[in-house]
Amino acid sequence: KQEVTQIPAALSVPEGENLVLNCSFTDSAIYNLQWFRQDPGKGLTSLLLIQSSQREQTSGRLNASLDKSSGRSTLYIAASQPGDSATYLCAVVSGSARQLTFGSGTQLTVLP
Amino acid sequence: EAGVAQSPRYKIIEKRQSVAFWCNPISGHATLYWYQQILGQGPKLLIQFQNNGVVDDSQLPKDRFSAERLKGVDSTLKIQPAKLEDSAVYLCASSLSPSGSETQYFGPGTRLLVL
């Protein structure tokens, strides 16, 4: 059974800092890995999707890497802003049913 | 492009009552998912539909939860009778296909409180 772990559970940084969020998964046989953002009281917004054959994806100030063999991914946020404050969720697609399994998320607070 | 729509946004009921949630996916998306997100946890898949057929409902508590997707478009999720531990956000998502390479698009969710 696939399990996804995210560390840390919460993170508070001053505005302008670069930061890294970590994600690990137990079964390396994945189809893809996705990073989502969730704002309070709202649904999830997909940030980046990395196919199993890829090593990284970039979008603006966000860069996600994937090391499938070690079961790890990182989300790098450059020059953080207060508007980046949200919960960031990592999820992997795996299994015959191609299910999306989520981690518990990292709650990020960027202080002005 | 319109996103995934869900209603109601909030619902408060007493235990043992019944409740139903509605979801309208993005037009043209064949695959529809219902997730349960308990506070402080990531979403957990309850059921996945491909058109109007069930692909995976292995984590759906079938003694009290039911879901349907008539005509392969809208879907409803029902809980009867509700328990205190059903308090959660119920998220609906859709994707073009279940291939595993498609992004899932999520609705805003229905926040359920069972008293």
- A36 contacts in B (CB within 8 Å)? 106
Q: How far from B71 is each of A105, B65, B75, B99, CA to CA, in Å?
A: 35, 20, 9, 21
pLDDT over threshold 90, residue A88: yes
Digit-coded pLDDT (tens) for B64-115: 999 999 888 999 999 999 999 999 999 999 998 776 667 889 999 999 999 9
Instruction: State whether A44 and B40 contact (CB < 8 Å).
Output: no
- CB-count exposure of residue A55 (10 Å: 0-12, 13-18, 19+): exposed
Q: B64 with B79: CB under 8 angstroms?
A: yes
- Would you call B103 an interface residue with chain A, using a CB distance cutoff of 8 Å? yes
pLDDT value of residue B70 = 81
- Would you call A71 an interface residue with chain B, using a CB distance cutoff of 8 Å? no
Closest C-alpha to B89, from A23, A105, A14, A53 = A105
